[in-house]
Amino acid sequence: MTNISRLSKKIGAIAESATLKVDAKAKALQAEGRPVISYAAGEPDFPTPPHIVDAARAALDDPKNFRYTAAAGLPELREAIAAKTARDSGWEVPASQVIVTNGGKQAVYQAFQVLLDPGDEVLVPAPYWTSYPEAIQLADGVPVEVFAGADQGYKVTVEQLEAARTERTKVLLFVSPSNPTGAVYTPEETTAIGEWAEANGLWIVADEIYQNLVYDGVRAVSIVEAVPALTDRTILVNGVAKTYAMTGWRLGWMIGPADIIKGAANLQSHLCSNVNNIAQRAAIAALNGPQEPIEEMRLAFDRRRKLIVDELNRVPGFHCPTPEGAFYAYVDVTGALGREIRGTTPRTSLELADLILSEAEVAAVPGEAFGPSGYLRFSYALGDEALLEGVRRIQTLLAE
């Protein structure tokens, strides 16, 4: 008998994605015929706009798409991404500094693989998207949480970041708009954080995947637009999933300084080679084609955002700041904990989420998936009727 474990320590330590777990539980109950309303999914409920699907169809008729292509991506797509980055992030980056990845998720993974040595620390503003700490740990880095609650609009301050900085700190993760909170940093806040990072020689990994989903006239200013000196030490992560309703197409990208991108391209060439050419052709149509369908989706999200935030704030014990971006409402539920409801007394948001699922048949993701307990995330990427019905069920349950 050998005492070598079956699974490596690194892989054995990975936690199952909590968001996918809640979604799977909701779907299993639905399959049993229970009328579960799920706010768990992190994806638009709209179909991909037809002109994008048409471009993919046309790509299937062209045999050159059946072959391996450059690992870093199709030249036309890298150009389209560079143009989008100049437009939306204010960085006139050459296409050679763009790599196309299998979703933003792979870009996040590669960013930390390329930057981190064992023990390097990454400042992770919390609540955070559930995959960041795993991606950091898989690169032998150490995630250092910096928490901002509802009282500060879920946005960390320079003072908090400075208090968490050590001589091992290498990277600041910057996500605006944020998943799970929908918080968007103002241009002034972004500049202050960017200048602090620049002054301390930190690297930035900026996840801009929700940058086009913003409301109330706000703009999510890129940290490299706010502090241009950071372009030599920043990796931007982005993709078509959220803005273009293309989550299943698996198309994202990373942008950074030439040496970093060269390193990431080397990694990707051994990991997965090029991204599916059909998805790449579709992404060219998404970025270069008409943007009206995207605006229609954004307006629908905006309407739902107002509906859900109003209703959530009517639930006894719930407090939901108005999110300015993405498609999530993040509710402070501490006021609803510690009280007996139908024979149980939920003391954590995990227990409250379980109670709401079993008693009201409504699925929301507990804060434990994104950092501290005491919160529930509601995605409002679902139709108006279900959107209202689900929150009303919670209102009824928690008013008992």
Q: Which parts of this chain interact with ligand PLP (CB under 6 A)?
A: 42, 103-105, 108, 129, 175, 179, 207, 209, 239, 241, 247, 252
Q: Shortest distance, CB of residue 336 to ligand PLP, whole angstroms?
A: 26
Give every CB contact of residue 100 below 8 A, 6+ residues apart in sequence: 72, 73, 74, 77, 78, 81, 251, 252, 253, 274, 275, 280, 283
Q: Are 48 and 246 in contact (CB under 8 A)?
A: yes
The minimum distance between CB 66 and ligand PLP, in angstroms, equals 24
Q: Which is nearer to ligand PLP, 196 or 370 (CB)?
A: 370
Find the residue with minimal CB distance to ligand PLP. 103
| Residue (95 or 175) nearer to ligand PLP, CB | 175
Q: Taking CA 189 as the corner, what is the angle to CA 376 and CA 219, rounded to the nearest 5 degrees?
A: 75
Other Cβ atoms less than 10 A from the Cβ of 299: the count is: 11
- C-alpha–C-alpha distance, residues 291 and 225, integer Å: 22
In angstroms, rounded to a whole number, what is the distance separating the alpha carbons of residues 325 and 310?
16
Instruction: Please identify, using beta-carbon distances, which residue of 104 and 321 lies nearer to ligand PLP.
Output: 104
Q: Name the pairing type of β-strands 37-38 and 252-255.
A: unpaired
CB of 192 to ligand PLP, least distance (A): 22
Q: Shortest approach of ligand PLP to residue 324 CB, angstroms?
A: 15
Smallest separation (angstroms) from ligand PLP to the CB of 399:
32
Which of residues 106 and 231 has its CB atom nearest to ligand PLP in the complex? 106
Strand order in the sheet with 98-101: 98-101, 252-255, 234-239, 203-207, 169-175, 121-126, 142-147
Minimum CB–partner distance for residue 108 and ligand PLP (Å): 6
Q: Residue 297's closest CA among 191, 382, 376, 234?
A: 382
Q: How far apart are CA 258 and CA 263, in angstroms?
A: 9
Nearer to ligand PLP, 360 or 365 (CB): 365
Of 105 and 165, which CB lies nearer to ligand PLP in the complex structure? 105
